[in-house]
Amino acid sequence: MSQSVVELLEIERGIIQVTMQDRVHKNTFTLEMTHGLREAFHTIQNDSTCKVVILTGYDNYFATGGTQEGLLAIHEGTSKFTDENIYSLALNCKVPVIAAMQGHAVGGGFVMGLFSDFVILSKESMYTTNFMRYGFTPGMGATFIIPQKLGFSLGEELLLNGGNYRGAELEKRGVPFPVLPRKEVRSYGLDLARQLAEKPRFSLITLKDHLVAPLRDKLPKIVEQELIMHEKTFHQAEVKERIINLFGK
């Protein structure tokens, strides 16, 4: 399967790579991107030979979150982040998913990557949960997965502050992921995928089901709470001004 912005390719037996490559929109979550990701993971779910997935981006971009139009639609009340559920694609995938975040990961793009079973960051890239920079509370399961994967103190800082953090800085702060030079991220991910692909597929699926069951069980309630917070925070006039004036800066 190959689409204009999402490419799905079996790079070795049992190893499928999903590459986000929307160079025009720098891997923001356009409708084409979200539909492409959902179709890619639907194909993987129905592939009886796949043992592991590598999710990655292009050049120095991994995924950069919602579009300005999408955020304004949520502000106006005509859309919700749950309308296009891509944040839990990796979590709900049968087989292990490796997020090879070789490039910048912004907002929902960073959150989506953290729902993977393995996370690899690059020293040079920027990682941020910048929801509060625009004045609205986080969504896409961020309030759950960020503290879960990064630890409560650092996770709370990222969520409340909404600042930008280089991978090298997060490494110093003790994130529990490999943080490598950008040029080494994908090769590290492939080596890891090869190790996983040596195992029986059924055993990989069975163990992942067991390990992520608590996350899958808790996520719907968290998302429900995030939507309630959005009703309280997203529709402020100041939020619209911030989305218009600060987007992409």
Considering the candidates 42, 104, 210, 230, report the single residue annotated as catalytic: 230
Q: H helices within the chain, ranges in order? A: 31-45, 68-76, 89-92, 108-114, 142-150, 152-161, 167-172, 182-197, 201-233, 237-246
**C-alpha to C-alpha distance for 122 and 113, rounded to whole angstroms:** 13
User: Is 230 an annotated catalytic residue?
Assistant: yes
Closest CA to 167 of 157, 177, 152, 158: 177
Give the three-state DSSP class for 95: coil
CA atoms within 13 A on the CB side of 218: 11
**C-alpha to C-alpha distance for 114 and 228, rounded to whole angstroms:** 23
> Can you say how many angstroms the Cα of residue 244 is from the centroid of all Cα atoms in its chain?
24
Q: Provide CB contacts within 8 A for 164, sequence distance 6+.
A: 126, 127, 128, 130
Q: Strands 61-63 and 104-106, how do they pair?
A: parallel
- Residue 168 · residue 127 · CB < 8 Å: no
Give the catalytic positions in this structure: 230
